[in-house]
Structure 1
Amino acid sequence: MKKIDITKQKYASPREKDLLKHVVETSWRYKLWMGFLLVIILIGMYAYYRQVRYGLIVTAMRDFTSWGIYISNFVFFVAVSLVGSLFSCILKLNKNYWSKPLVRISEVIAVSAIMCAAVIIIIDMGRPDRFFYVIKYMRIQSPIIWDVIIISTYLILSILLLYISILPDIAICRDRLTEVANWKKKMYKFLSINWINHPKQKAKLERMSKMLAIVVLPIAFAIHTVTSWLFATTWRPGWDSTNLGPYFVSGAFMAGAAVIIVAMYIIRKQLKLQAYITNSHFDKMGKLLVLLSLVYLYFNINEYLGPAFKMVGVEGEHITELFVGHYAPMYWLVQIGGLILPILLLMFKWFRRPVPILIISICVILGAWFKRFLIVIPSLQHPYLPIQDVDESYLTYHPTWEEWAITFASFASLLFFITVLMKIFPVLPVEEEELVAETVVESNILQNENQ
């Protein structure tokens, strides 16, 4: 293997060196991290092999709880994928220039998350060949087909959005990184498609970027709305609600914003990019997270107030199970620790600093995943038409080690995809104009603090 001499790279400026250094250099931490993720993925692959060989009986899913943590993971990954539209579309179209350094991070996470969502739904089917039957015998009146169509569309558009955003920097890698491996040189040359940074090329790219941002936005809203329809069109307590669409979308934006904050902190710390991902970014992301959490809190109140006020039949049993029953500790921990406390703490500027907001964001992410668990599992355990004289295993759900192994492997795969993409391509825009506005804002903030 050819040893790379990092001193021979043709950097045009110290800025390029800062933002391209991680593409060239490979630290022992990176190798250790990738090895750790691969071990988890291999364990998950063995668990999936057992599931394919022996069937879904190796899981704890039965006739009552026919959806387990696989569907919780699916909904969570779809939620995280919406962060790409939040930054690439909403904030970009609103001309929030401070978010430009975070756009690529969000797009990488969006592409990786939607890929994992597509894989986990196939895993949930039991045999992978069943997915081809879904396509072969497509029934447009089935909400599952709606989900397949919208996820495929969103995946393609997310990849295009990421590619268009990263194209100028691929050309920079092609021209500057002369000492990288040959396969990387060929890849950069192929993907750069003769980009020379000509004004006409830049104008066309800008138009395409705006068009995609406009197209992706309704698709992004539709993907989580259609996912919510999978629940709303199923006759189960807790799902019979027209509120589920905006409820899912608002929760997705909140979870995605928290994921971005965690990614910001890790990238800034590991790649030493404090000059480009500043305290101002964490402060603004904290304010954005408060706004998104308040919207989600509203839909949480709206979702549970009606059934809790009436407490009728199976709906009442479901609410009782959540509020004071078996799932009450998890439910209140999610509501208080993953939603209410983060809102209260982030109201204060001190908690919007890098380390405090990192801890708060991790709590929000954990709360978001357990929230998906609470949406899926308790509802399935209280059917409107229960089966008589069933085995005890039908009435409870405790995931088996195979389910946990595949779950951890799916999250490891998400982190693996993100790490690989951020290793091959610049994690922040290299072109100077991308960060000029943010530099001006940061300078003004520093001046105000000094005064």
Structure 2
Amino acid sequence: MNTIKSPEESRKVLDTIFSDLTRSITHKDELTRFWFFILIMFAGVGLWGWIIQIDKGLGVTGMRDYVSWGMYIANFVFFVAISLIGFLISSALHLLKISWSKPISRVAEQIAIAGVALAGIIIVMDMGRPDRFLNVFLHGRFASPIIWDVTVVTTYLTISALLFFLPLIPDLALLRDRMTGKVPTWKLKIYTILALGWKGNPEQYKTVYHAMRILMILIIPVGLSIHTVTSWLFAATLRSGWDTTIMGPYFVAGAFVAGAAAVVILMYIYRLRYGLKNYFEDFHFDYMGKLLVFVSLVYLYFNINEFLVPGYKMKTAEGVHLQNLFTGAFASMFWLVQVAGLIIPILLMLIKFFRKPLPLTIISVVVLIAAWFKRYLIVIPTMEHPFLPVQNVPDYFKSYAPTSIEIMITLFSVFAALLIITVLAKLFPVITIWEYAEEKGVDKKYFSKQPKN
């Protein structure tokens, strides 16, 4: 990094960067209003579905005595998965001093916060008596994996929020000093309060760097725990399809695939919507494509392991489960997920052309959709084949199909997550201004100064 020596040049570079990276905050048009309307409308419809479920009970869902986990749990696992990308990009890559990941880190943290927040909400929505949720904390038993999961989800959300907020403080001071007359007064008040009296002196920067490093280190075991513990909810049972020791790393690898795909999609949207082509550059997409190939190959290995080992032993229950996936009722979904959502994307992304922004984004959309259906396949087929005999029950107890209420609530979670990400983008810069300016050679002493008229 070469430091810019001229004060005029430093101010000019900083003004340009500030203007570009606050475009997400200042940009307003009919499309923005329509987007908020769509998000709020669908979220409202989902909340209405949840009110119906609370009133009438879980009988309005497709879940019954045998399939007691349905679309909600698949959705929960999906949101926990995409939230893990915050740990990978904002912590692991930063600690390894991989500089290309810096502009992407705030995007990853937005996804992490939205994902883990919705994961917690979905668990409450899955409960037949959400009014008893506090009993999990008041009377929970340490021996229960549910308690472990609630603990790590809460901890991960807290650390992710702090990891999002700490590097935001210098940016908040810039917004406080430079956005007068450009944004509503209530936004300026938010920036002033959250800036915590930031002055931009070396001691403050040293404190922020130190605190960020501590959080980056802390989030590694918590990030690995959140999805490992989620996998233990499945692996701690004797059910075919879940009774395996690879579930922890298998879930973590799959989480990196889903999260990396989500980051690519959001990068492209920001790049296109807010004119950030010079910030989310082609080489960022190229590196993200390579990262996605790597984690997909690791995930492919675990997928092969998941089916090869039980298929070799072919115990009775495992045989029924594998037959159901490979040639039975779930065969079409299974092969589409494996081939279209994993194998073909890997082969395509090995070619440089498909790591360009638009092709990579299209591939990432397919990978992300396939990742959701993969979680559905993890949950439902195993639940439909318990060891206990299914007898003397109605036919609809023997299989599972989500009802309109479940679909409404699932759509709520998707649009609520998008709403959180959109609100964060409209309130705060999507790339860390002071870090990016520093990378371009602007001295920190100019960060807290008013722009020249």
TM-score between the two structures when normalised by the length of structure 2: 0.93
Q: How many residues align?
A: 430
Alignment of 1:20-419 (within 5 A): 20-179=22-181, 180-419=183-422
The alpha-carbon distance between structure 1 residues 127 and 393, as it changes in their structure 2 partners (threshold 3 A), is: same
Q: Which amino acid aligns with 2:23?
A: K
Q: How far 1:236 moved relative to its partner?
A: 1.4
- Rounded to whole Å, the distance in 1 between the matches of 2:233 and 2:24 is 42
Task: State the identity %.
Answer: 48
1:103-159, CA deviations, whole angstroms, 9 ceiling, x for partnerless residues? Answer: 001011101110000000000012211211222211111110010111111111111
Q: How far 1:437 moved relative to its partner?
A: 7.1
Q: 5+ unaligned residues in a row in structure 2: which ranges?
A: 1-11, 443-453
The alpha-carbon distance between structure 1 residues 226 and 432, as it changes in their structure 2 partners (threshold 3 A), is: closer
Q: How far 1:65 moved relative to its partner?
A: 0.8
Report SS of the residue matched to 1:102.
helix
Match of 1:430 among 417, 423, 433: 433
The alpha-carbon distance between structure 1 residues 140 and 43, as it changes in their structure 2 partners (threshold 3 A), is: same
Q: 5+ unaligned residues in a row in structure 1: which ranges?
A: 1-9, 440-451
1:362-389, CA deviations, whole angstroms, 9 ceiling, x for partnerless residues? Answer: 1110110000000000000010113322
Checking the alignment, whether the CA contact within 8 Å between 1:11 and 1:176 is kept in structure 2 is no
Q: Please name the residue that 1:5 is paired with.
A: none
- Rounded to whole Å, the distance in 1 between the matches of 2:437 and 2:245 is 41
Q: How far 1:310 moved relative to its partner?
A: 2.0
Q: How far 1:436 moved relative to its partner?
A: 2.5
- Rounded to whole Å, the distance in 2 between the matches of 1:394 and 1:292 is 38
RMSD of the TM alignment (CA)?
1.6
Checking the alignment, whether the CA contact within 8 Å between 2:321 and 2:382 is kept in structure 1 is yes
1:378-408, CA deviations, whole angstroms, 9 ceiling, x for partnerless residues? Answer: 0000101133221111111110000001101
- Rounded to whole Å, the distance in 1 between the matches of 2:151 and 2:189 is 33
List structure 1 runs of 4+ shifted beyond 2 angstroms.
432-439
The alpha-carbon distance between structure 1 residues 23 and 433, as it changes in their structure 2 partners (threshold 3 A), is: closer
The alpha-carbon distance between structure 1 residues 432 and 215, as it changes in their structure 2 partners (threshold 3 A), is: closer
The alpha-carbon distance between structure 1 residues 394 and 16, as it changes in their structure 2 partners (threshold 3 A), is: same
1:177-228, CA deviations, whole angstroms, 9 ceiling, x for partnerless residues? Answer: 1012221111111100111111111111111111110000110000000000
Q: Which amino acid aligns with 2:97?
A: K
Q: Which amino acid aligns with 1:426?
A: P
Checking the alignment, whether the CA contact within 8 Å between 2:57 and 2:128 is kept in structure 1 is yes
Checking the alignment, whether the CA contact within 8 Å between 2:390 and 2:398 is kept in structure 1 is no
More contact order relative to length (CA 8 Å, sep ≥ 6): 2
- Rounded to whole Å, the distance in 2 between the matches of 1:418 and 1:435 is 26
Q: How far 1:434 moved relative to its partner?
A: 5.4
Report SS of the residue matched to 1:319.
helix
- Rounded to whole Å, the distance in 2 between the matches of 1:238 and 1:43 is 34
Q: How far 1:11 moved relative to its partner?
A: 10
Report SS of the residue matched to 2:244.
coil
Checking the alignment, whether the CA contact within 8 Å between 1:79 and 1:251 is kept in structure 2 is yes
Deviates more, 1:364-373 or 1:14-23: 14-23
1:392-440, CA deviations, whole angstroms, 9 ceiling, x for partnerless residues? Answer: 111111100000011011000000000000100011111265573799x
TM-score between the two structures when normalised by the length of structure 1: 0.93
Checking the alignment, whether the CA contact within 8 Å between 2:311 and 2:319 is kept in structure 1 is yes
Q: Which amino acid aligns with 1:65?
A: V
Checking the alignment, whether the CA contact within 8 Å between 1:98 and 1:438 is kept in structure 2 is no
Checking the alignment, whether the CA contact within 8 Å between 1:113 and 1:414 is kept in structure 2 is yes
